Structure 1
Amino acid sequence: MAEANNIQLVERFPDAGDYCRLRSEAGMSPKTLQAARKGLPNTLYGVSLQVDGEVIGMGRIIGDGGCFYTVVDIAVAPAYQGRGLGKRIMTALDTWLRQNAEPSAYVTLVADGEARHLYAKYGFVETAPASVNMEYIVAPHAPE
Protein backbone atom coordinates (compact mmCIF):
# COMPACT_ATOMS: atom_id res chain seq x y z
CA MET A 1 0.00 0.00 0.00
CA ALA A 2 1.41 3.39 -1.02
CA GLU A 3 2.02 6.10 1.54
CA ALA A 4 0.04 9.33 1.03
CA ASN A 5 3.22 11.15 -0.02
CA ASN A 6 3.71 8.62 -2.88
CA ILE A 7 0.30 9.49 -4.31
CA GLN A 8 0.65 12.00 -7.12
CA LEU A 9 -2.08 14.51 -8.00
CA VAL A 10 -2.19 14.98 -11.78
CA GLU A 11 -4.15 17.84 -13.34
CA ARG A 12 -5.75 15.60 -15.93
CA PHE A 13 -8.84 13.47 -15.72
CA PRO A 14 -8.51 9.69 -16.27
CA ASP A 15 -9.31 8.07 -19.59
CA ALA A 16 -12.67 6.39 -20.12
CA GLY A 17 -11.47 2.94 -19.04
CA ASP A 18 -10.00 4.12 -15.74
CA TYR A 19 -13.03 6.32 -15.17
CA CYS A 20 -15.46 3.42 -15.53
CA ARG A 21 -13.27 1.11 -13.41
CA LEU A 22 -12.85 3.59 -10.57
CA ARG A 23 -16.56 4.48 -10.46
CA SER A 24 -17.34 0.79 -10.11
CA GLU A 25 -14.66 0.17 -7.46
CA ALA A 26 -15.85 3.16 -5.43
CA GLY A 27 -19.47 1.92 -5.45
CA MET A 28 -20.79 4.65 -7.75
CA SER A 29 -23.40 4.04 -10.45
CA PRO A 30 -21.83 2.39 -13.50
CA LYS A 31 -21.36 4.26 -16.77
CA THR A 32 -20.84 2.61 -20.12
CA LEU A 33 -17.55 3.02 -21.91
CA GLN A 34 -19.44 4.65 -24.78
CA ALA A 35 -21.02 7.21 -22.45
CA ALA A 36 -17.67 7.94 -20.81
CA ARG A 37 -15.95 8.44 -24.15
CA LYS A 38 -18.67 10.86 -25.16
CA GLY A 39 -18.88 12.80 -21.91
CA LEU A 40 -15.34 13.06 -20.55
CA PRO A 41 -14.03 15.41 -23.27
CA ASN A 42 -16.53 17.97 -21.95
CA THR A 43 -14.71 18.18 -18.62
CA LEU A 44 -13.77 21.77 -17.79
CA TYR A 45 -11.15 20.72 -15.25
CA GLY A 46 -10.27 17.39 -13.73
CA VAL A 47 -7.68 15.72 -11.57
CA SER A 48 -6.45 12.20 -10.99
CA LEU A 49 -4.62 10.66 -8.07
CA GLN A 50 -2.06 8.11 -9.19
CA VAL A 51 0.24 5.56 -7.62
CA ASP A 52 2.91 4.26 -10.00
CA GLY A 53 0.73 5.34 -12.95
CA GLU A 54 -2.41 3.61 -11.64
CA VAL A 55 -5.43 5.89 -11.16
CA ILE A 56 -6.69 5.51 -7.58
CA GLY A 57 -8.72 8.74 -7.28
CA MET A 58 -10.44 11.36 -9.42
CA GLY A 59 -12.69 14.40 -9.50
CA ARG A 60 -13.85 16.81 -12.16
CA ILE A 61 -15.84 19.94 -12.93
CA ILE A 62 -18.41 20.19 -15.70
CA GLY A 63 -20.56 23.13 -16.73
CA ASP A 64 -21.02 25.98 -19.16
CA GLY A 65 -17.78 27.77 -18.23
CA GLY A 66 -19.53 30.95 -17.15
CA CYS A 67 -22.69 30.75 -15.09
CA PHE A 68 -22.92 27.16 -13.88
CA TYR A 69 -20.43 24.58 -12.67
CA THR A 70 -21.00 21.14 -11.18
CA VAL A 71 -18.46 19.13 -9.20
CA VAL A 72 -18.82 15.45 -10.15
CA ASP A 73 -17.13 12.07 -10.12
CA ILE A 74 -15.20 12.43 -6.89
CA ALA A 75 -14.03 8.92 -6.14
CA VAL A 76 -11.20 7.20 -4.30
CA ALA A 77 -10.48 3.49 -4.59
CA PRO A 78 -11.61 1.71 -1.40
CA ALA A 79 -8.08 0.63 -0.44
CA TYR A 80 -7.06 4.31 -0.29
CA GLN A 81 -10.09 5.80 1.45
CA GLY A 82 -9.82 7.41 4.87
CA ARG A 83 -6.48 9.10 4.13
CA GLY A 84 -7.69 12.59 3.26
CA LEU A 85 -7.49 11.98 -0.48
CA GLY A 86 -11.03 13.24 -1.11
CA LYS A 87 -9.94 16.49 0.54
CA ARG A 88 -6.89 16.61 -1.70
CA ILE A 89 -9.11 16.23 -4.78
CA MET A 90 -11.61 18.85 -3.53
CA THR A 91 -8.83 21.33 -2.73
CA ALA A 92 -7.57 21.11 -6.32
CA LEU A 93 -11.08 21.52 -7.76
CA ASP A 94 -11.93 24.39 -5.41
CA THR A 95 -8.67 26.17 -6.22
CA TRP A 96 -9.40 25.94 -9.94
CA LEU A 97 -12.95 27.25 -9.47
CA ARG A 98 -11.82 30.21 -7.38
CA GLN A 99 -9.19 31.11 -10.00
CA ASN A 100 -11.35 30.60 -13.10
CA ALA A 101 -15.07 30.96 -12.37
CA GLU A 102 -16.87 34.29 -12.43
CA PRO A 103 -17.82 35.69 -8.99
CA SER A 104 -21.53 35.19 -9.80
CA ALA A 105 -21.06 31.55 -10.85
CA TYR A 106 -23.33 28.96 -9.28
CA VAL A 107 -21.44 25.82 -8.19
CA THR A 108 -23.30 22.65 -7.27
CA LEU A 109 -22.65 19.06 -6.32
CA VAL A 110 -24.56 16.09 -4.99
CA ALA A 111 -23.24 14.96 -1.62
CA ASP A 112 -23.64 11.30 -0.81
CA GLY A 113 -23.89 10.40 2.88
CA GLU A 114 -21.24 11.76 5.18
CA ALA A 115 -19.33 13.40 2.29
CA ARG A 116 -21.47 16.48 2.93
CA HIS A 117 -19.19 17.31 5.87
CA LEU A 118 -16.16 17.45 3.57
CA TYR A 119 -17.97 19.65 1.05
CA ALA A 120 -19.15 22.03 3.77
CA LYS A 121 -15.50 22.86 4.45
CA TYR A 122 -15.37 24.34 0.93
CA GLY A 123 -18.45 26.52 1.40
CA PHE A 124 -21.15 24.18 0.09
CA VAL A 125 -24.42 24.39 2.02
CA GLU A 126 -27.47 22.17 2.03
CA THR A 127 -30.35 23.89 0.28
CA ALA A 128 -33.30 21.64 1.20
CA PRO A 129 -36.16 22.23 1.63
CA ALA A 130 -35.90 25.39 -0.52
CA SER A 131 -34.17 23.38 -3.25
CA VAL A 132 -33.87 19.64 -3.62
CA ASN A 133 -31.76 17.48 -5.87
CA MET A 134 -33.85 15.85 -8.58
CA GLU A 135 -32.60 13.29 -11.05
CA TYR A 136 -33.40 10.47 -13.39
CA ILE A 137 -31.33 7.98 -15.36
CA VAL A 138 -32.09 7.76 -19.06
CA ALA A 139 -33.03 4.18 -19.88
CA PRO A 140 -35.11 2.56 -22.60
CA HIS A 141 -38.80 2.79 -21.82
CA ALA A 142 -41.26 0.08 -22.77
CA PRO A 143 -43.72 1.33 -25.39
CA GLU A 144 -47.14 2.18 -24.02
Structure 2
Amino acid sequence: MADADDTDPYHIREELPDPETFAALREAAGMPPRSLEGVERGLPNSLYGVVVVHEPTDEPVGMGRIVGDGGTVYQISDMAVHPDHQRRGLGTRIMTALEDYINETAPSQAYVNLIADVDGFYEGFGYEPVRPDSKGLYRRTE
Protein backbone atom coordinates (compact mmCIF):
# COMPACT_ATOMS: atom_id res chain seq x y z
CA MET A 1 0.00 0.00 0.00
CA ALA A 2 1.54 3.29 -1.09
CA ASP A 3 1.59 6.22 1.30
CA ALA A 4 1.95 9.89 0.37
CA ASP A 5 5.77 10.24 0.45
CA ASP A 6 8.91 9.46 2.46
CA THR A 7 8.60 12.62 4.59
CA ASP A 8 5.04 11.78 5.63
CA PRO A 9 4.94 11.01 9.39
CA TYR A 10 1.99 8.63 8.90
CA HIS A 11 1.99 5.12 7.49
CA ILE A 12 -1.00 2.92 6.71
CA ARG A 13 -0.62 -0.71 7.69
CA GLU A 14 -2.91 -3.40 6.32
CA GLU A 15 -3.77 -4.97 9.66
CA LEU A 16 -6.29 -4.81 12.46
CA PRO A 17 -5.62 -3.01 15.72
CA ASP A 18 -5.29 -5.00 18.92
CA PRO A 19 -8.45 -4.90 21.08
CA GLU A 20 -7.09 -2.28 23.49
CA THR A 21 -6.06 0.06 20.65
CA PHE A 22 -9.44 -0.47 18.98
CA ALA A 23 -11.26 0.53 22.16
CA ALA A 24 -8.96 3.49 22.82
CA LEU A 25 -9.32 4.91 19.29
CA ARG A 26 -13.11 4.58 19.42
CA GLU A 27 -13.20 6.36 22.77
CA ALA A 28 -10.82 9.13 21.66
CA ALA A 29 -12.95 9.73 18.56
CA GLY A 30 -16.13 10.01 20.66
CA MET A 31 -17.65 6.79 19.34
CA PRO A 32 -19.89 4.55 21.47
CA PRO A 33 -17.90 1.96 23.46
CA ARG A 34 -17.82 -1.74 22.69
CA SER A 35 -17.23 -4.44 25.30
CA LEU A 36 -13.75 -5.96 25.38
CA GLU A 37 -15.37 -9.39 24.97
CA GLY A 38 -17.17 -8.20 21.84
CA VAL A 39 -14.03 -6.62 20.41
CA GLU A 40 -11.95 -9.74 21.06
CA ARG A 41 -14.58 -11.89 19.33
CA GLY A 42 -15.32 -9.52 16.48
CA LEU A 43 -11.95 -8.25 15.25
CA PRO A 44 -10.72 -11.65 13.99
CA ASN A 45 -13.90 -11.93 11.89
CA SER A 46 -13.11 -8.77 9.94
CA LEU A 47 -12.64 -9.09 6.19
CA TYR A 48 -9.98 -6.38 6.05
CA GLY A 49 -8.61 -3.57 8.13
CA VAL A 50 -6.06 -0.80 8.23
CA VAL A 51 -4.30 1.06 11.00
CA VAL A 52 -2.67 4.47 10.62
CA VAL A 53 0.59 4.69 12.55
CA HIS A 54 2.30 7.95 13.49
CA GLU A 55 5.86 6.89 12.63
CA PRO A 56 7.77 9.25 14.96
CA THR A 57 5.98 7.77 18.00
CA ASP A 58 5.01 4.36 16.53
CA GLU A 59 1.52 5.06 17.86
CA PRO A 60 -1.65 3.88 16.13
CA VAL A 61 -3.73 7.03 15.53
CA GLY A 62 -6.42 5.84 13.13
CA MET A 63 -8.23 2.75 11.91
CA GLY A 64 -10.97 1.40 9.72
CA ARG A 65 -12.22 -2.05 8.83
CA ILE A 66 -14.63 -3.97 6.66
CA VAL A 67 -17.00 -6.61 7.98
CA GLY A 68 -19.36 -8.80 5.99
CA ASP A 69 -19.62 -12.10 4.20
CA GLY A 70 -16.95 -11.43 1.57
CA GLY A 71 -19.33 -11.92 -1.33
CA THR A 72 -22.68 -10.19 -1.15
CA VAL A 73 -22.44 -7.76 1.77
CA TYR A 74 -19.62 -5.50 2.93
CA GLN A 75 -19.90 -2.92 5.69
CA ILE A 76 -17.39 -0.15 6.29
CA SER A 77 -17.01 -0.01 10.05
CA ASP A 78 -15.07 1.54 12.92
CA MET A 79 -13.58 4.47 11.02
CA ALA A 80 -11.75 6.51 13.65
CA VAL A 81 -8.90 9.02 13.77
CA HIS A 82 -7.57 10.31 17.09
CA PRO A 83 -8.56 13.99 17.48
CA ASP A 84 -4.89 15.03 17.84
CA HIS A 85 -4.30 13.76 14.30
CA GLN A 86 -7.49 14.81 12.54
CA ARG A 87 -7.67 17.26 9.63
CA ARG A 88 -4.58 15.75 7.99
CA GLY A 89 -6.32 13.61 5.38
CA LEU A 90 -5.99 10.40 7.39
CA GLY A 91 -9.69 9.56 7.19
CA THR A 92 -9.50 9.90 3.43
CA ARG A 93 -6.45 7.63 3.31
CA ILE A 94 -8.18 5.02 5.48
CA MET A 95 -11.33 5.13 3.35
CA THR A 96 -9.30 4.92 0.14
CA ALA A 97 -7.56 1.78 1.42
CA LEU A 98 -10.90 0.20 2.33
CA GLU A 99 -12.41 1.16 -1.02
CA ASP A 100 -9.37 -0.27 -2.85
CA TYR A 101 -9.89 -3.59 -1.07
CA ILE A 102 -13.57 -3.69 -2.02
CA ASN A 103 -12.86 -2.73 -5.63
CA GLU A 104 -10.20 -5.45 -5.93
CA THR A 105 -12.07 -8.28 -4.19
CA ALA A 106 -15.85 -7.81 -4.24
CA PRO A 107 -17.87 -9.52 -6.95
CA SER A 108 -20.25 -7.45 -9.06
CA GLN A 109 -23.56 -6.48 -7.47
CA ALA A 110 -22.16 -6.69 -3.91
CA TYR A 111 -23.89 -4.39 -1.42
CA VAL A 112 -21.56 -2.01 0.43
CA ASN A 113 -22.96 -0.01 3.31
CA LEU A 114 -21.95 2.08 6.30
CA ILE A 115 -23.41 4.12 9.11
CA ALA A 116 -22.14 7.69 8.75
CA ASP A 117 -21.69 10.17 11.56
CA VAL A 118 -19.91 12.76 9.42
CA ASP A 119 -21.88 14.77 6.88
CA GLY A 120 -20.41 15.01 3.39
CA PHE A 121 -17.34 12.79 3.87
CA TYR A 122 -18.62 9.45 2.57
CA GLU A 123 -20.60 11.04 -0.24
CA GLY A 124 -17.24 11.94 -1.77
CA PHE A 125 -16.63 8.20 -2.17
CA GLY A 126 -19.96 7.67 -3.95
CA TYR A 127 -22.13 6.69 -0.98
CA GLU A 128 -25.74 7.84 -0.99
CA PRO A 129 -28.45 7.99 1.69
CA VAL A 130 -30.65 4.91 1.74
CA ARG A 131 -33.82 6.98 2.13
CA PRO A 132 -36.40 6.90 0.61
CA ASP A 133 -35.72 3.43 -0.82
CA SER A 134 -34.71 1.93 2.53
CA LYS A 135 -34.46 2.88 6.16
CA GLY A 136 -31.42 2.26 8.36
CA LEU A 137 -32.22 0.84 11.79
CA TYR A 138 -30.20 -0.32 14.77
CA ARG A 139 -30.38 -1.60 18.33
CA ARG A 140 -27.80 -2.29 21.03
CA THR A 141 -27.69 -5.34 23.25
CA GLU A 142 -27.71 -4.93 27.03
Q: TM-score, normalised by structure 1?
A: 0.90
2:49 alignment partner, SS class: strand
Encode CA deviations 1:107-133: one digit per residue, 9 max, x unaligned.
Answer: 00011132xx22112111112122121
Matching of residue 97 in structure 1 with residue 102 in structure 2: yes
CA–CA separation in structure 1 for the residues paired with 2:115 and 2:99: 15
1:5 alignment partner, SS class: coil
> 1:53 offset after TM fit, Å?
2.2
**Which residue in the other structure is 1:126 paired with?**
129
CA–CA separation in structure 1 for the residues paired with 2:125 and 2:118: 16
- Count the aligned residue pairs: 134
Matching of residue 23 in structure 1 with residue 26 in structure 2: yes
What do you get for the CA RMSD once the two structures are aligned? 1.1
Matching of residue 53 in structure 1 with residue 63 in structure 2: no
1:8 alignment partner, SS class: strand
Q: Runs of 5+ in structure 1 lacking a partner?
A: 140-144
CA–CA separation in structure 1 for the residues paired with 2:16 and 2:9: 19
**Among 23, 30, 35, the residue aligned to 1:32:** 35
**Which residue in the other structure is 1:67 paired with?**
72
CA–CA separation in structure 2 for the residues paired with 1:66 and 1:127: 21
- What letter matches 1:35 in structure 2? G
Q: Runs of 5+ in structure 2 lacking a partner?
A: 1-6
Larger-Rg structure: 1
- What letter matches 1:135 in structure 2? Y
Question: Displaced runs of 4+ in structure 1, greater than 6 A?
Answer: none
Q: Identity of counterpart residues, as a percentage?
A: 41
